[in-house]
Amino acid sequence: MSKAPEKPAADAPAGKSKKKLFIIIGVAVLLLGAIGGGAVFMLSGKKNTKEKEHKEEVAKAPVFLPLEPFVVNLQSDTGEKYLQVQMTLQIPDEAQSNLIKSNTPQVKSRLIMLLSSKDAGELLTPEGKDKLIKEITEQVNLPFTPKGDPQKVSGVFFTSFVIQ
């Protein structure tokens, strides 16, 4: 008779340990599922972000607007010096291109005034050319009307640059 009571006592701890085991396994499965779902969500979010960035880059291709060559007298202590320069403007879209084209006389006047005020010696250095690019950008970006919006020229590229 003593054997009968021992069996239920032995079964009771085994039943409790089986319940604990099922609970631990259930929690582990839920935890792994949550981690896996989060990983899928995060990876799909990064993919969508990359796709959006790629689409924006393709959509925002810059427009290049070549200008007619300029020939101006330069300031010089050693005699007459001339600058012959041809440049291309980088702008964000066709609307800006059309705006600049429709105001070409103002653009030309501004650039002739700027270029003719330069000293030949200062334009021969790379630093002088970089400074000139910044000044050209500032001049072209000035509004064409007194209270108008500025243009959005983001780059100036010299395609010909000769000092004589």
Mean pLDDT over 142-159 rounds to: 88
The pLDDT tens digits for 94-118 are 888 898 899 999 999 999 999 999 8
Mapped onto helix, strand or coil, the DSSP state of residue 85 is strand
The encoded tokens of residue 152 equal 């959005």
How high is the pLDDT of residue 106?
92
Q: Is the pLDDT of residue 17 over 70?
A: yes
The pLDDT tens digits for 27-74 are 888 788 788 777 777 777 665 666 666 665 555 778 899 999 999 998
**Chosen CATH of 63-163 out of 3.40.50.720, 3.40.190.10, 3.30.479.30, 3.40.50.10210:** 3.30.479.30
User: What's the rounded Cα separation, in Å, for the pair 105 and 147?
Assistant: 19
How high is the pLDDT of residue 156?
93
For the chain, give every domain's residue range.
1-61, 63-163
How high is the pLDDT of residue 30?
79
Closest residue by Cα to residue 92 from 152, 17, 38: 152
Helix (H) or strand (E) holding 157, with range, is strand 155-163
Cα 19 from chain centre: 58
Q: Is the pLDDT of residue 147 over 90?
A: no
